[in-house]
Amino acid sequence: MQTTSSGSAKASGKAVYFFSAGDTDGNAQMKNMLGGKGANLAEMTSLGIPVPPGFTISTEMCQAFFESGEALPKSLVLSIEEALAKVEAKIGKKFGDKKNPLLVSVRSGARASMPGMMDTILNLGLNDETVEGLALASGNPRFAWDSYRRFIQMYSDVVMGMNSSFLEVAMEDMKDEKGYKFDTDLTADDLKKLVANFKKQVADSTGQKFPTDPKEQLWGSITAVFKSWNTARAIAYRQMHSIPASWGTAVNIQAMVFGNMGDDSATGVAFTRNPSNGLKEFYGEYLVNAQGEDVVAGIRTPVPVLASEAKLAGIVGESLEERMPAVFKELVATYQKLEKHYRDMQDMEFTVERGKLWMLQTRTGKRTAKAALKIACDMIDEKLISEEEALLRLDPKSLDQLLHPTLDPKAKKTVLTKALPASPGGATGKLVFSSEEAVDMKERGEKVILARIETSPEDILGMAAAQGILTSRGGMTSHAAVVARGMGKCCVAGAGEIGIDYNLQTLRVNGYVLKKGDIVTLDGSSGEVFLGEVKMVEPELSGEFDRIMKLADAKRTMGVRANADTPKDATTARSYGAEGIGLCRTEHMFFGADRITAVREMIVAETKSEREVALEKLLPMQRSDFLELFKTMKGYPVTIRLLDPPLHEFVPHSDEEIRDLAKTLEMDFDKLRNRVRALHEFNPMLGHRGCRLAITYPEIYQMQTRAIAEAAAELVKSGMSLIPEVMIPLIGTAKELEILRELSEKEIKTVQRETGVKFDYLIGTMIELPRAALTADEIAVTADFFSFGTNDLTQTALGLSRDDSGRFLSTYVNEGIYKVDPFVSIDQVGVGKLVTMAVKLGRDVKKDLKVGVCGEHGGDPDSISFFQSAGLDYVSCSPYRVPIARLAAAQSAIISKSGGKAGSGMH
Amino acid sequence: MQTTSSGSAKASGKAVYFFSAGDTDGNAQMKNMLGGKGANLAEMTSLGIPVPPGFTISTEMCQAFFESGEALPKSLVLSIEEALAKVEAKIGKKFGDKKNPLLVSVRSGARASMPGMMDTILNLGLNDETVEGLALASGNPRFAWDSYRRFIQMYSDVVMGMNSSFLEVAMEDMKDEKGYKFDTDLTADDLKKLVANFKKQVADSTGQKFPTDPKEQLWGSITAVFKSWNTARAIAYRQMHSIPASWGTAVNIQAMVFGNMGDDSATGVAFTRNPSNGLKEFYGEYLVNAQGEDVVAGIRTPVPVLASEAKLAGIVGESLEERMPAVFKELVATYQKLEKHYRDMQDMEFTVERGKLWMLQTRTGKRTAKAALKIACDMIDEKLISEEEALLRLDPKSLDQLLHPTLDPKAKKTVLTKALPASPGGATGKLVFSSEEAVDMKERGEKVILARIETSPEDILGMAAAQGILTSRGGMTSHAAVVARGMGKCCVAGAGEIGIDYNLQTLRVNGYVLKKGDIVTLDGSSGEVFLGEVKMVEPELSGEFDRIMKLADAKRTMGVRANADTPKDATTARSYGAEGIGLCRTEHMFFGADRITAVREMIVAETKSEREVALEKLLPMQRSDFLELFKTMKGYPVTIRLLDPPLHEFVPHSDEEIRDLAKTLEMDFDKLRNRVRALHEFNPMLGHRGCRLAITYPEIYQMQTRAIAEAAAELVKSGMSLIPEVMIPLIGTAKELEILRELSEKEIKTVQRETGVKFDYLIGTMIELPRAALTADEIAVTADFFSFGTNDLTQTALGLSRDDSGRFLSTYVNEGIYKVDPFVSIDQVGVGKLVTMAVKLGRDVKKDLKVGVCGEHGGDPDSISFFQSAGLDYVSCSPYRVPIARLAAAQSAIISKSGGKAGSGMH
């Protein structure tokens, strides 16, 4: 054992916190020190709930451990030995005792939940002598040797770094030899031989004898748990969830209780409310004669705790309610106590050892977005929590899963199988059988369904890349199900009729044989799997959704608009509560089949007059575009961005296409090809685009402004109240805006004179270049509003092309250079500084300058909380993100009002 | 006449300033109000120098004129009439008098010299009646009618906007008809007829009668001069020279004196010192019986003022000294008075009217760089000016002309002709015959020689685009010569043996017929023109150059380094006084024929180990690169930038080349092509380059750092004192630098351990992304130095690709959006703000942080003065710009010390 006397210099709390009925050091508030699991074990114990006694090594010891070069500080070792003695006293067993040995579990427990990310060791304290004591004390030698067998497997894997499949093979060999079908067929004697075999294999494979000293086992396990904080997968998970490495993990050492001591024993997982739909009903799954790992790993498919639930699944007499009514009653009383105490839905682990209920863990339960809304509303009504609390508890990003299309019930479908509806929503994609494949194909722009026998933490990236996840084993609380719900991804789990062959890369189901690349569709709400693609329909939102949205609207102070280019987008945006259009990209209108030719004619024009002829053709089309958009938005503000992309984006590039275009335009092929080539740019992002187009070809913006003005005039004449907002992109200097404002204003006034209709209008600019932010005071003089184009501002401030950064961005996130992808969540330190600076400079000149954001960050909750603190008036995002933005804006406003710092997830 | 009573609200001075012996309102200090010419006319008059009486309309009236919608304010008209009456009284003639009429000149005169940019009208006041009076008073009817003819030509062109070639044709027709060869053959009667013809043509062409009322002529001329402030060419000139539009021009109205009253009259231009070599000798050219325009326009080739100079040119008895010794004596006395008074070399215009000398203008004379240095040194020695004054008067940019190669005297040459050495230096290029062509070919990367019969202000852009200028007409003070010297461009003028045919696009000379595109070489120092390309040699610098450079070094506070990639560059840099290398671009070393294959092997490697094999081959080559560089720099600091450009810049892109490479590398063609294609980027400027390469492929920087360390170790071992500086490019976050600093430091320490040699080293970063500047405090923690890469910082801050902005940058400069090309002179408001911010943030964290600049702005005087005020420690620029930077840095330090604001040319 490696120990050190230094390393705990920075520790401010105790090294070890004890918990046992009537003698508990910690509480639920001490998550930072005890981790989530440790804090809740302490809290539960204090509440008088039956929890096996134990103690928690504080998270500060994890830092001390790493600072000491991965050694256990000496003082810690002493504290642990002291606490262990107390556990022995409480439970009346002794660690390493040959007659009635104390066994313990060693579990990780960080401040934030990191499901399945770190290591656990059970049954610790067994050796060739204590196993006999356990057999004696339990009167069940088979149980004792099976526990020992499990311990060796777990310990050799986690602590000794051995490939555990060797031991699995040895066990399978024995089963074959004996003609057994199930693990449970193995007798105590078989297991005894297996243990001997296991120990030999461990020695052969690792070169080390399996440790027989329980203390040595303990130090090894604690060391392994600390180390598991820094495994690649834990680091990846932390980065995905913005958890700082400095937090560290606590280690919980707790007396073992056994759910596998026979048919009067069991283990299970339960939720105080239904995590899938939020209904206020107790919900759980359990397995008789099993250890907790058997439930979570999804190796055996568990049975509902409630008789009613079991019955729905066609299972009779097997529920906990039916098999162990007394235990069930105590469990119900416990869950009610816990939920009332924690004021939130709880996810609990329990074990029944020979008829006695033990609670092993409670924590806030993960839930689907639908359930979260239902629970929030119910808890407000139950007066359990305030409206603000209810809003703050919801994860805005999770609303996404409610807004995505589901399968059209009227569509024709070929059902392949039906399994557990593990995470709602619909998904279609090509079948893949490995996470690597899923990631690869996603990168190639393909939509995939990841099909696995079961999933494990190694599959996290593959699951994130997939549209949906399908497993052939495991329940509603299996890894696949829990993770998919967290990601808001559709998942169908435990599809036992399916046979997946990783080698052949095939999926067999009810006579069908599907290969990699074949398309399937999942319905995560019904559990069905369909052949091919199935039509999807827009989601219908629940009453709770509306209620929460209205609550959010009442609390938020920032406006929420949508980025929408078409009346269809605008309709969607309105239906999700957008209060205007913050960005209408006019160029998207240019690609219509009826107008692209005129657009190209405009682009290849060699003289101003040729260009004007083409623009003349576009004018009525653009006018009707804007007319429809204004009509749809019924007087809500509409910000129209004038032409932005470089012109070469509109022309074809292959000789063949150019030849066709030359024919259409009656132009010489070579001349046209030269013109197209002349448009080529080395760095189009930094090239001839945005307002630069209008500085060289003013007639383009003239036409667009005229179209806007004519549309506005027509509607104002017919009685609509309307203030069009003209937005000039890519402004870098005040002078550009001066020139183009004058140009636009002149055109609008001309239209007003021609039509005799007066209307107000705003002319503003995007702030999307660092120079614009740096000189926002100069620009504000001529601008009625600013709208931050944070996509381009990120590209230029970071010198990072969104199109090209793919090949190194993941390395950047993995290495912790970027905490998150800066195109997903705004880089507050760098780009954010430009935003804050520009708001201040702009408002110094123009106190009431309207300032918004229309980059994709406008729909990202962390970014929204930043925008709140930066003083923005509104955010604009894609229509589907509008509800997310409404909730995130409300949360930001609540936090900001309470004096808290916005931007919870950012560091 | 359009007048207005408003518009002079903002005027703070008088509208009109009178000047005449003993009665002068202005002085030389009043340039802002009177313009350069007006202020000097007033000053000269006050000095007792013979100046024809007159008055100056102040520059404020120019603003008033434009603010009143191009009308003359009424109060101004009254002031002018008053001043005119005073002139009449002084000179004893009356404006419009039929017997002895007062004629006046109307000339522009802005605060800064804008040679030939604006309009002038002479002989104003002539009509059919006053011309007879002039004939009578002068006793020379031919002169009177010729003056009238000239007046009509000038007025109809300048004021009435008529195409003056109609009148020229009429005159040529008459000469043909009469069988005359020269204009001077025309008799008084001929000219009388011509005047009648002219007036008819003016009426026909413009639809307006030529004005006969002298007052109407006067208002028209003043209006035209004001308007000429805003002609396209004047605006272009202002923008090229950073002259604000708000300055406006003054108008000088002055009694006419005539150099064309016969052989006792003359007109000329003189310099108090030789403007070409700076020798302290009087220097001038004049023409007998001519008006000033004849000299400047270069239509007749003038004769030296000094007998000795004339003799050298093979002219005897024709100099002013010989023909008019008394006038010459007075002129000498006058020039000495003027130079002593103004304490600088003067450029004077004079006219002799019937034996009486009149000074029409004096101003600081333009001079070649060589002359400027000589004059500066002489004037220090003469105790006329202080060292600081001498340094401040020199234009750093002009040093450029001293540093460029000249023709190799030993090279074989075919002389085509010899003419005037109008502007020194050598130039080789393809012949073009129009300015448009020169600009076009320059844009296509061609070097051109612009050949013109004579040049005019319209040729400015063409001259700027050309390597050198060749004219077949005009003297040393012709437009071509003056402008070329100002630009520091080689020019051979007045090559009378040459026949240029614009239509045939040919140049005939001594039996040769050259076509457009043929190559010629000019020697601007000898006046020779050679066929084809002639070998050039490095310039030898004069003693004055060294003296001034040493003076500059003594005064400046910023260091000056050079950007140099090879020992050859480094040698040049050292010879120009560079105190180190501020930027060695290692990638330039990668293109050597002996290493490009290994570089490509490294790039297309698919695994780290393959890459390492290729890098292993590059290591010894890079080591010897650095060894040579360090040796050349003899212990001066050398900053080595690790690999920066995207990898695709090193690989071939055509199928054929890829096939060759595949063969060389023994790789599959398709595989290689795919790898090359995979390297393609949409915006390589913002792509996978700089330190990003090393984040993904650390082994590249490892190899480079090792090469640096091994080279340093070898030299340190041999006794050299050396501190290598490793520079990491494209840092955007502190974390990148932390990772790469650790990587580099580890490698250096390994080499130190291996070699047993210890040496100091610096590891720093370029600041070339806005985010780096914004977070410079975080980055400074890990950086030993900052070096601003202002090229890329400009590209990202402005969102402007240097490669792509060509198509709109000129529009941007013309429209005044950018005052100057931001890649030539740093954008102080935007990019400069980032620089200032980064310096402050960096030094807040690390008080003594060394900060330099290595972008091309490091050699631009205006940028250098900005860098001085931003507190930079050094600038680094191309070797040829080192002297410019030394002088500019000295000027900045002097200005900064005196509390003045640096950045004279920027607004």
Q: From the list B797, B799, B804, which residue is nearest A681 (CB)?
A: B804
**pLDDT at residue A286 tops 90:** yes
Residue B690's identity, in one-letter code, is G
Residue of B nearest to A735 (CA): B817
**pLDDT at residue A44 tops 90:** yes
What secondary structure does DSSP assign to A584-623, as a single string? EEGGGGGGSTTTHHHHHHHHH-SSHHHHHHHHHHHHHHHH
| Interface touch A800/B736, C-beta < 8 Å | no
Which of B 877-896 lie inside 8 A of A, CB atoms?
A: none
Q: For residues A348 and A305, what is the distance between their CA atoms, to the nearest angstrom? A: 12
Q: Hey, how many other C-beta atoms are within 10 angstroms of the C-beta on B898?
A: 9
Q: Is B557 helix (H, G, I), strand (E, B) or coil?
A: coil
**pLDDT at residue B458 tops 90:** no
Q: For residues A743 and A500, what is the distance between their CA atoms, to the nearest angstrom? A: 65
Mean pLDDT value of segment A29-34: 92
**Gap from B772 CA to chain A (nearest CA, Å):** 8
Residue B82's identity, in one-letter code, is E
How many helices (H) and strands (E) chain B has is answered by: 36, 35
Q: For residues A169 and A8, what is the distance between their CA atoms, to the nearest angstrom? A: 43
**pLDDT at residue A10 tops 50:** no
Q: Which 8-state DSSP code applies to residue B901?
A: P
Q: For residues B818 and B828, what is the distance between their CA atoms, to the nearest angstrom? A: 11
Residue pair B485/B496 in contact by the 8 Å Cβ criterion: no
Whole-number pLDDT of residue B450 = 96
Among A644, A796, A803, the residue to mutate for chain B (most B Cβ within 10 A): A796
Whole-number pLDDT of residue B457 = 66
Give per-residue pLDDT as tens, B56-102. 999 999 989 998 889 999 999 999 999 999 999 999 999 999 998 99
Judging contacts by C-beta atoms under 8 Å, the chain A residues touching residue B769 are: 797-799
**pLDDT at residue B538 tops 80:** no
**Gap from B8 CA to chain A (nearest CA, Å):** 26
Across chain B, mean pLDDT equals 89
Among B444, B689, B692, B743, the residue to mutate for chain A (most A Cβ within 10 A): B692
Q: From the list B683, B686, B830, which residue is nearest A774 (CB)?
A: B830
CA dihedral A394, A395, A396, A402 (to 10 degrees): -90
Q: Which residue has the tokens 């969104």?
A: A802
Judging contacts by C-beta atoms under 8 Å, the chain B residues touching residue A682 are: 684-685, 801, 803-804
Residue of A nearest to B734 (CA): A817
Among A771, A775, A779, A820, the residue to mutate for chain B (most B Cβ within 10 A): A771
Residue pair A494/A478 in contact by the 8 Å Cβ criterion: yes
Give per-residue pLDDT as tens, A528-576. 999 999 988 777 777 999 999 999 999 999 999 999 988 888 998 999 9
Q: From the list B801, B817, B834, which residue is nearest A686 (CB)?
A: B801
Residue pair B794/B856 in contact by the 8 Å Cβ criterion: no
Whole-number pLDDT of residue A420 = 83
Q: From the list A682, A739, A775, which residue is nearest B804 (CB)?
A: A682
State both tokens at B773: 């500047």
Strand-pairing partners, residue B18, are: B55
Residue A391's identity, in one-letter code, is L
Judging contacts by C-beta atoms under 8 Å, the chain B residues touching residue A797 are: 769-771, 774, 796
Give per-residue pLDDT as tens, A478-510. 778 877 765 668 899 888 889 898 888 999 998
Whole-number pLDDT of residue B497 = 85
Whole-number pLDDT of residue B904 = 35
CA distances to A822, B116, B236, B237 from B461, in Å: 45, 14, 9, 10
Whole-number pLDDT of residue B367 = 86
CA distances to A297, A349, A434, A511, A804 from A494, in Å: 12, 21, 17, 18, 40
> Percent of chain A at pLDDT above 90?
61
Q: Which residue has the tokens 């021609």?
A: A754
| Interface touch B816/A735, C-beta < 8 Å | yes
CA distances to A540, B734, B764, B786, B840 from B843, in Å: 58, 15, 14, 10, 5
Whole-number pLDDT of residue A794 = 95
Q: For residues B628 and A501, what is the distance between their CA atoms, to the nearest angstrom? A: 62
| Interface touch B732/A798, C-beta < 8 Å | yes
Strand-pairing partners, residue A493, are: A420
A145 CB within 8 Å of a chain B CB: no
Give per-residue pLDDT as tens, A177-197. 998 877 778 899 999 999 999
Whole-number pLDDT of residue A903 = 40
**Gap from A689 CA to chain B (nearest CA, Å):** 10
**pLDDT at residue A713 tops 80:** yes
Q: Which of B59, B68, B100, B96 has the alpha carbon at shortest distance from B81?
A: B96
Whole-number pLDDT of residue B541 = 76
CA distances to A472, A529, A571, A704, B329 from A460, in Å: 17, 22, 36, 47, 98
Judging contacts by C-beta atoms under 8 Å, the chain B residues touching residue A686 are: 683, 685-686, 795-796, 799-801, 804-805
- N-to-C CA span, chain B: 36
SS (H, E, C) A270-322: EECCCCCCCCCCCEEEEEECCCHHHHHCCCCCCEECCHHHHHHCCCCCCCHHH
> Percent of chain B at pLDDT above 90?
61
Per-residue pLDDT band at B477 (split at 50, 70, 90): low
How many helices (H) and strands (E) chain A has is answered by: 35, 35
**pLDDT at residue B180 tops 90:** no
A781 CB within 8 Å of a chain B CB: no
Q: Where are the beta strands (DSSP E) in B24-126?
A: 54-57, 72-73, 94-95, 101-102, 104-110, 120-124
Give per-residue pLDDT as tens, A852-874. 999 889 999 999 999 999 999 99
**CB burial string B286-308: b at 16+ within 10 A, e below:** bbbbbbbebbbbbbbbbbbbbbe
Whole-number pLDDT of residue A457 = 66
**pLDDT at residue B127 tops 50:** yes
Q: Which 8-state DSSP code applies to residue B576?
A: T
**pLDDT at residue B236 tops 80:** no
Mean pLDDT value of segment B388-408: 84
CA A562 to chain CA centroid, nearest Å: 22
Q: Hey, how many other C-beta atoms are within 10 angstroms of the C-beta on A183?
A: 14
Q: Which of B499, B476, B489 has the alpha carbon at shortest distance from B417?
A: B499
ipTM exceeding 0.85, yes/no: no
Which of B 795-854 lie inside 8 A of A, CB atoms?
A: 795-801, 803-805, 807-808, 811-812, 815-818, 827, 829-831, 833-834
**pLDDT at residue B581 tops 90:** yes
State both tokens at A505: 């890369």
> Percent of chain A at pLDDT above 70?
95
**pLDDT at residue B288 tops 50:** yes
Give per-residue pLDDT as tens, A601-656. 999 888 888 999 999 999 999 999 999 999 999 999 999 999 999 988 888 888 88
| Interface touch A686/B771, C-beta < 8 Å | no
| Interface touch A686/B775, C-beta < 8 Å | no
Whole-number pLDDT of residue B184 = 77
Q: For residues A98 and B193, what is the distance between their CA atoms, to the nearest angstrom? A: 139
Which residue did the predictor score with more confidence, B85 or B674? B85
**pLDDT at residue A231 tops 50:** yes
Q: Where are the beta strands (DSSP E) in B538-660?
A: 559-563, 581-585, 638-641
**pLDDT at residue B5 tops 60:** no
| Interface touch A774/B768, C-beta < 8 Å | no
Judging contacts by C-beta atoms under 8 Å, the chain B residues touching residue A692 are: 808, 812
Whole-number pLDDT of residue B903 = 40
Residue B29's Cβ-count burial label (10 Å; 0-12, 13-18, 19+) is: exposed
Which residue did the predictor score with more confidence, B373 or B678? B373
Helices (H), A455-500: 460-465, 479-487
Q: Hey, how many other C-beta atoms are within 10 angstroms of the C-beta on B559?
A: 20
DSSP helix, strand, coil percent of chain A (3-state; round to 5)? 50, 15, 35
Which residues of A are known to be catalytic? 479, 854
Q: For residues B51 and B503, what is the distance between their CA atoms, to the nearest angstrom? A: 45
Mean pLDDT value of segment A880-884: 89
Whole-number pLDDT of residue A7 = 39
**pLDDT at residue A8 tops 50:** no
**Gap from B771 CA to chain A (nearest CA, Å):** 5
Non-local CB neighbours of A374 within 8 Å, separated by 6+ positions: A277, A278, A279, A542, A544
Q: For residues A696 and A707, what is the distance between their CA atoms, to the nearest angstrom? A: 20
Q: Is A202 helix (H, G, I), strand (E, B) or coil?
A: helix
Give per-residue pLDDT as tens, A654-666. 888 899 999 988 8
| Interface touch B686/A807, C-beta < 8 Å | no
Sheet holding B498-501, edge to edge: B498-501, B506-509, B512-515
Helices (H), A634-733: 655-665, 669-678, 691-696, 698-717
| Interface touch B739/A815, C-beta < 8 Å | yes
Which residues of B are known to be catalytic? 479, 854
Across chain A, mean pLDDT equals 89
Judging contacts by C-beta atoms under 8 Å, the chain A residues touching residue B775 are: 829-830, 833
Judging contacts by C-beta atoms under 8 Å, the chain B residues touching residue A808 are: 688, 692, 695-696
Give per-residue pLDDT as tens, B596-639. 888 999 998 888 889 999 999 999 999 999 999 999 999 999 99
Q: Which of A703, A762, A760 has the alpha carbon at shortest distance from A737?
A: A762
**pLDDT at residue A332 tops 70:** yes
- Going by their DSSP bridges, the two strands B104-110 and B120-124 should be labelled as antiparallel
State both tokens at A482: 């829990």
Strand-pairing partners, residue A764, are: A727
Judging contacts by C-beta atoms under 8 Å, the chain B residues touching residue A812 are: 692, 695
Give per-residue pLDDT as tens, A53-85. 999 999 999 989 998 889 999 999 999 999 999
Q: Which of A528, A522, A534 has the alpha carbon at shortest distance from A417?
A: A528
Which of A 77-136 lie inside 8 A of B, CB atoms?
A: none
CA distances to B518, B599, B607, B694 from B613, in Å: 50, 11, 10, 17
Q: For residues A20 and A85, what is the distance between their CA atoms, to the nearest angstrom? A: 13
